[in-house]
């Protein structure tokens, strides 16, 4: 037997009590029983978003909500600005191109956060842009972008919104939607929401709704956000189309766990785990990929002479520990260690000790325990002092 550990930035581990809740016999989604769960879940989700706006649930992966944001806010021929600092930033441009929307790219070196001056310059050059589309946490490079500062820029421009892909940021970092003036915030179930894949969430500000109402063209049929809002609001408490009912029931349990933990504790936990992971890999002489490292996932270069793709395959297939590798030009060069969702101190020590043992098996001279110890020095803060 090889015990399995899922330490990738999506899908992430699902807590036992959530698995058990989803294992209950299926109920029909057009019933008062489901609507009661739906309404409660929506309210708790809005608390996680820190918003008075509606947080909507869509039966799709996160990319579905990204496409919904683009097609509801922009008609063919419109212009949007997008930050491309990695695989997921690049996706905004691909979605826009598919719908005949003019996408202005702000290219950012992988591992860097976007410079706010570059966003301002793009907004100056394209006063007709409907929005700036950006990742809060660009998972491919494990980097955080300055979404609060970007929202402050678009707040000054009529008809221009900030659209945030927070797929690996919601429930990880403190990003209060209303207080920061974020217009659209998107997430996905298989990340910090601690669920299997298949559910996306999206919340929109009043400014974004006004822009949608004024946008003539194709809003799509499946992802018609105005229709979803009408159905998902109090009184109707359902979705326009058949919902991902089991995932919504699971989300109800997840949000109860988050409520019990408290938002500030949730964010502090993620910060501590990220800090410990960074300390661990640095102690193993593995250089960080990001200059603005994310709280969700740590990317680190594998040591010279180690084949990163073979390393990850070995960790997964021979040791039972699943990490993510690099994409595009980082393929075979980096390891991405997740620390979001159902993840705590001893998951970090497992990650570190697995990396150390794998390095040794790959013939790399490693000081066993160095990464674990560096992580422990940070993680000890998560454990209360003993009362003697
Ligand atoms: C930041 C970010 N955006 C978008 C996506 C795409 O989401 P999905 O695979 O759920 O469509 C991911 C998935 O890893 C992500 O991390």
Ligand 1 centroid to residue 89 C-alpha, Å: 10
For 320-329, letters b (16+ CB in 10 Å) and e give ebbbbbbbee
DSSP 200: E
Nearest to 185 by CA among 13, 49, 17: 49
- What pLDDT does residue 106 have? 98
- What pLDDT does residue 217 have? 74
- What pLDDT does residue 196 have? 98
What are the tokens at 289?
């990929």
- What pLDDT does residue 381 have? 86
- What pLDDT does residue 113 have? 98
Report the distance separating Cα 387 and Cα 104, nearest Å: 58
Same fold, 5-10+262-382 and 16-260: no
Q: Which fold has domain 16-260?
A: 3.40.640
- What pLDDT does residue 219 have? 78
Specify whether the CB–CB gap between 104 and 134 falls below 8 A: no
User: What is the best residue among 8, 188, 191, 338 to mutate for testing ligand 1's pocket, by most ligand atoms within 8 Å of CB?
Assistant: 188
Q: Which fold has domain 5-10+262-382?
A: 3.90.1150
Q: Kindly report, residue by residue over 51-65, the tens digit of the pLDDT.
A: 999 999 999 999 999
Ligand 1 centroid to residue 237 C-alpha, Å: 27
Specify whether the CB–CB gap between 189 and 198 falls below 8 A: yes
Ligand 1 centroid to residue 135 C-alpha, Å: 10
- What pLDDT does residue 358 have? 98
> Mean per-residue pLDDT for 202-221?
93
Q: Is the pLDDT of residue 383 over 80?
A: yes
Domain locations in the chain?
Answer: 5-10+262-382, 16-260
Ligand 1 centroid to residue 216 C-alpha, Å: 28
Ligand 1 contact, 89 CB (< 6 A): no
Nearest to 356 by CA among 345, 373, 369, 347: 369
When pLDDT is cut at 50, 70 and 90, the band that residue 218 belongs to is confident
Q: Mark out the alpha helices in the chain (DSSP H runs).
A: 16-22, 32-49, 62-73, 87-98, 116-125, 147-154, 177-180, 206-214, 225-232, 245-261, 263-283, 308-319, 345-361, 370-379
Q: Kindly report, residue by residue over 166-190, the tens digit of the pLDDT.
A: 999 999 999 999 999 999 999 999 9
Report the distance separating Cα 207 and Cα 227, nearest Å: 17
Report the distance separating Cα 147 and Cα 341, nearest Å: 21
When pLDDT is cut at 50, 70 and 90, the band that residue 4 belongs to is very high
- What pLDDT does residue 283 have? 98
Q: Kindly report, residue by residue over 9-34, the tens digit of the pLDDT.
A: 999 999 999 999 999 999 999 999 99
Nearest to 382 by CA among 282, 228, 281, 261: 261
What are the tokens at 216?
């003539």
Report the distance separating Cα 203 and Cα 197, nearest Å: 19
Report how far apart the first and last C-alpha atoms of the chain are (Å, whole number).
40
Specify whether the CB–CB gap between 182 and 147 falls below 8 A: yes
Residues in the chain: 388
- What pLDDT does residue 346 have? 97
Q: Kindly report, residue by residue over 127-158, the tens digit of the pLDDT.
A: 999 999 999 999 999 999 999 999 999 999 99
For 277-300, letters b (16+ CB in 10 Å) and e give bbbbbbbbbbebbbebbbbbbbbb
Query: Dihedrals φ, ψ of 25, to 5°?
Result: -55, 145
Ligand 1 contact, 63 CB (< 6 A): yes
- Closest atom of ligand 1 to 135 CA is 1
> Residues near 337 by Cβ (< 8 Å), separated by ≥ 6?
7, 277, 281, 297, 298, 299, 300, 323, 351, 355
Q: Kindly report, residue by residue over 39-89, the tens digit of the pLDDT.
A: 999 999 999 999 999 999 999 999 999 999 999 999 999 999 999 999 999
Percent of the chain surpassing pLDDT 90? 97
**Sign of the CA dihedral 244, 250, 253, 254?**
negative
User: What is the best residue among 12, 62, 67, 190 to mutate for testing ligand 1's pocket, by most ligand atoms within 8 Å of CB?
Assistant: 62
Q: Kindly report, residue by residue over 282-314, the tens digit of the pLDDT.
A: 999 999 999 999 999 999 999 999 999 999 999
Rounded to 5 degrees, what angle do the CA atoms 287, 168, 56 make?
170
Report the distance separating Cα 21 and Cα 29, nearest Å: 16
Chain mean pLDDT for the chain: 97
pTM over cut 0.85: yes
Nearest to 189 by CA among 248, 136, 147, 266: 248
The DSSP annotation for 353-375 comes to HHHHHHHHHTT----TTHHHHHH
């Amino acid at each position: 037997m090889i015990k399995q550990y899922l330490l990738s930035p999506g899908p992430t581990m699902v807590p036992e009590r959530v698995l058990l809740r989803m294992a209950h016999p299926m109920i029909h989604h057009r019933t008062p029983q489901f609507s009661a769960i739906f309404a409660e879940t929506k309210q708790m989700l809005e608390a996680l978003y820190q918003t008075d706006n509606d947080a909507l649930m869509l039966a799709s992966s996160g990319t579905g909500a990204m496409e919904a944001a683009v097609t509801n806010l922009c008609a063919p021929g419109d212009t949007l600005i997008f930050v491309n600092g990695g695989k997921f930033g690049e996706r905004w441009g691909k979605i826009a191109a598919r719908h005949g929307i003019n996408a202005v790219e702000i290219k950012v070196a992988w591992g860097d956060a976007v410079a706010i001056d570059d966003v301002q310059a793009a907004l100056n050059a394209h006063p007709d842009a409907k929005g700036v589309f950006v990742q809060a946490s660009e998972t491919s490079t494990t980097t955080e972008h300055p979404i609060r500062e970007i929202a402050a820029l678009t707040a000054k421009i009529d008809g221009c919104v900030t659209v945030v892909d927070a797929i690996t940021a919601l429930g990880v970092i403190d990003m209060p939607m209303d207080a920061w003036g974020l217009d659209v915030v998107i997430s996905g179930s298989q990340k910090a929401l601690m669920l299997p894949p298949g559910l996306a969430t999206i919340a929109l500000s009043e400014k974004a709704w006004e822009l949608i109402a004024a946008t003539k063209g194709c809003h799509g049929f499946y992802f018609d956000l105005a229709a979803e809002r009408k159905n998902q609001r109090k009184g109707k408490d359902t979705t326009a189309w058949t919902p991902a009912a089991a995932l919504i029931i699971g989300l109800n349990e997840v949000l109860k766990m988050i409520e019990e933990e408290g938002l500030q504790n949730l964010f502090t936990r993620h910060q501590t785990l990220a800090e410990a992971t960074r300390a661990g890999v640095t102690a193993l002489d593995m250089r960080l990929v990001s200059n603005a490292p994310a709280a969700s996932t740590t990317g680190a270069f594998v040591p010279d002479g180690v084949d990163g793709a073979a390393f990850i395959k070995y960790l997964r297939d021979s040791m039972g520990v699943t990490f993510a590798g690099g994409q595009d030009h980082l393929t075979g060069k980096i390891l991405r260690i997740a620390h979001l969702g159902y993840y705590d101190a001893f998951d970090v020590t497992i990650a570190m000790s697995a990396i150390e043992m794998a390095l040794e098996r790959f013939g790399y001279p490693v000081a066993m325990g160095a990464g674990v110890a560096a992580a422990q020095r940070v993680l000890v803060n998560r454990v209360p002092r003993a009362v003697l």
